[in-house]
């Protein structure tokens, strides 16, 4: 396969490499990803994260394994194992469905390679379209709040919600970004802060629990988040903490936008209650670990509840900003998400 470079994925000499998102921003560690077990481990530990990036890394690995001579029956097995690695993100399932169709071809090796490369190119284009549509909604002088990380690290392109913010900043419309640190895994504090710094976009990092206070002080003009899955009724699953931001936004009269590619939409999922939510290890809540080491502050035997995502009801969302355009609450009430968007 030809070499590829995105912010957090590389193909070099027919090998997949991933930028370890657990080690950033202190360390820039590129790790090899030679087989399915390695990629599943990277996804589960969130070294590879962000719904679009997970789908792309799985697709590229399958194509590389095919090129390396893996038999067709084993590739089917590998594909199903990868499908299990992140239950909430539907981009992974959508990408793997396309790879499965490619795998059914008699000349499946070049077909898989072409499809994986197409998915990467498409993702870049989807991000650009989302950024264009979203930036039109950003008013000059905006102070925007975002959660988790939805930038170039999480996609092959400029990102989704963070791509909108960056595009609006290029247009001179962003005064400042409030960055939720995003407990428990700190994707905001570690990754979004790093990406905004790299792009010289002014930001201030806050603990998640400070968002209400900055909204009450009138210091937030709009909230922009990403999505792991958009259900047929417009409900959205996203990183834990998103729902509380949407409730706060409603109370304070602040627009709340979800930015995502159409590949995040799942017309077969009736509503948020039907979206599977991954439960994660207690250690992520009882302490924290990263390139800086590990700390535990809670008692050894602390009982923990650690859902990775929550569901924001459609009624709290001001607009779904997709590559295909901006979907309004009225269109959602009329059932636009009940059918495929393409
Ligand atoms: O657990 P993470 O860090 O992968 O969660 C990421 C999110 O919730 C994102 O908003 C979503 O995957 C979209 S990333 C463009």
Residue among 87, 186, 187, 308 to mutate when testing ligand 1 (max atoms within 8 A of CB) = 187
E-assigned strand segments in the chain: 4-5, 9-12, 15-19, 30-32, 142-146, 174-180, 203-206, 222-225, 229-230, 236-239, 256-259, 287-290, 293-296, 309-312, 319-322, 325-327
Kindly state if the Cβ of 239 falls inside 6 Å of ligand 1. Answer: yes
pLDDT at 292: 84
**Mean pLDDT score, 294-299:** 96
Residue 195: C-alpha distances to residues 113, 152, 204, 234, 289 (Å): 30, 8, 13, 29, 20
Atom of ligand 1 nearest to the CA of 52: 15
pLDDT at 290: 84
CA 317 to chain centre: 18
pLDDT at 4: 97
Atom of ligand 1 nearest to the CA of 264: 13
pLDDT at 65: 98
**Rounded CA separation 335/342 (Å):** 15
Atom of ligand 1 nearest to the CA of 225: 10
Residue 215 pLDDT exceeds 90:
yes
pLDDT at 3: 97
Percent of the chain with pLDDT over 90: 98
Distance 68 CA to ligand 1 centre (A): 31
Residue among 147, 152, 238, 262 to mutate when testing ligand 1 (max atoms within 8 A of CB) = 238
**Mean pLDDT score, 25-32:** 95
CA 114 to chain centre: 24
**Which of the four pLDDT bands, split at 50, 70 and 90, describes residue 342?**
confident
Examine the residue annotation and report whether 228 is marked as an active-site residue of this protein.
yes
Atom of ligand 1 nearest to the CA of 21: 3
**Mean pLDDT score, 180-209:** 97
pLDDT at 211: 98
**Mean pLDDT score, 4-33:** 96
In the block, tokens 């239950």 appear at 87
pLDDT at 285: 97
**Mean pLDDT score, 247-275:** 98
Distance 52 CA to ligand 1 centre (A): 8
Residue among 191, 195, 227 to mutate when testing ligand 1 (max atoms within 8 A of CB) = 227
**Mean pLDDT score, 149-160:** 98
Kindly state if the Cβ of 160 falls inside 6 Å of ligand 1. Answer: yes
74: number of Cβ within 10 Å: 13
Kindly state if the Cβ of 168 falls inside 6 Å of ligand 1. Answer: no
Residue 108 pLDDT exceeds 90:
yes
Residue 291 pLDDT exceeds 90:
no
pLDDT at 180: 98
Residue among 49, 260, 322 to mutate when testing ligand 1 (max atoms within 8 A of CB) = 49
Kindly state if the Cβ of 99 falls inside 6 Å of ligand 1. Answer: no
| Closest residue CA from atom 8 of ligand 1 | 239
pLDDT at 112: 98
Kindly state if the Cβ of 184 falls inside 6 Å of ligand 1. Answer: no
Kindly state if the Cβ of 86 falls inside 6 Å of ligand 1. Answer: no
Kindly state if the Cβ of 228 falls inside 6 Å of ligand 1. Answer: yes
**Mean pLDDT score, 126-131:** 98
Residue 99 pLDDT exceeds 90:
yes
Atom of ligand 1 nearest to the CA of 51: 12
Residues 6 or more apart whose Cβ sits within 8 Å of residue 147:
180, 182, 188, 208, 223, 225, 238, 239, 241, 242, 245
For 70, phi and psi rounded to 5 degrees? -65, 135
Catalytic residue among 123, 180, 208, 228: 228
pTM over 0.75: yes
Bridge partners, residue 177, by sequence: 144, 203
Residue 20 pLDDT exceeds 90:
yes
Average pLDDT, the chain: 97
Q: At what angle do helices 36-44 and 51-67 cross, to 10 degrees?
A: 170
Percent of the chain with pLDDT over 70: 100
Residue 210 pLDDT exceeds 90:
yes
pLDDT at 289: 87
């Amino acid at each position: 396969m030809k070499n590829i470079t995105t912010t957090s994925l590389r193909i070099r000499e027919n090998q997949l490499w991933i930028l370890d998102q657990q080690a950033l921003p202190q360390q820039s560690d590129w790790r090899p990803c030679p087989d399915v077990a390695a990629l599943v481990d990277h996804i589960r530990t969130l070294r590879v994260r962000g719904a679009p990036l997970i789908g792309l890394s799985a697709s590229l690995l399958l194509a590389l394994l095919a090129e390396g001579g893996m038999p067709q029956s084993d590739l089917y097995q590998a594909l199903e194992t990868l499908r299990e690695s992140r239950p909430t993100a539907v981009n992974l399932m959508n990408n793997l469905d396309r790879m499965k169709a490619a795998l059914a071809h008699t000349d499946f090796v070049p077909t898989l390679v072409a499809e994986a490369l197409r998915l990467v190119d498409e993702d870049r284009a989807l991000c650009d379209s989302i950024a264009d549509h979203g930036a039109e909604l950003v008013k000059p002088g905006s102070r925007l709040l975002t959660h988790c990380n939805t930038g170039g690290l999480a996609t092959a392109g400029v990102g989704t919600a963070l791509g909108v913010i960056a595009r609006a900043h290029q247009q001179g419309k962003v005064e400042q970004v409030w960055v939720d640190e995003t407990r428990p895994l700190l994707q905001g504090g570690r990754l979004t802060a790093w990406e905004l710094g790299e792009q010289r976009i002014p930001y201030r990092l806050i603990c998640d629990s400070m968002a209400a206070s900055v909204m009450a002080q009138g210091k937030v003009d709009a909230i922009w988040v990403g999505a792991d899955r958009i259900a047929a009724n417009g409900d959205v699953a996203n990183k834990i903490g998103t729902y509380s931001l949407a409730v706060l936004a409603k109370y304070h009269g602040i627009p709340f936008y979800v930015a995502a590619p159409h590949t995040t939409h799942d017309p077969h999922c009736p509503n948020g209650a039907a979206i599977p939510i991954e439960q994660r290890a207690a250690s992520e809540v009882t302490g924290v670990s990263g390139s800086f080491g590990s700390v535990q502050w809670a008692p050894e035997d602390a009982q923990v509840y650690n859902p990775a995502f929550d569901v924001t009801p459609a009624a709290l969302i001001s607009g779904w900003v997709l590559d295909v355009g901006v979907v309004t609450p009225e269109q959602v009430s009329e059932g636009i998400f009940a059918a495929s968007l393409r």
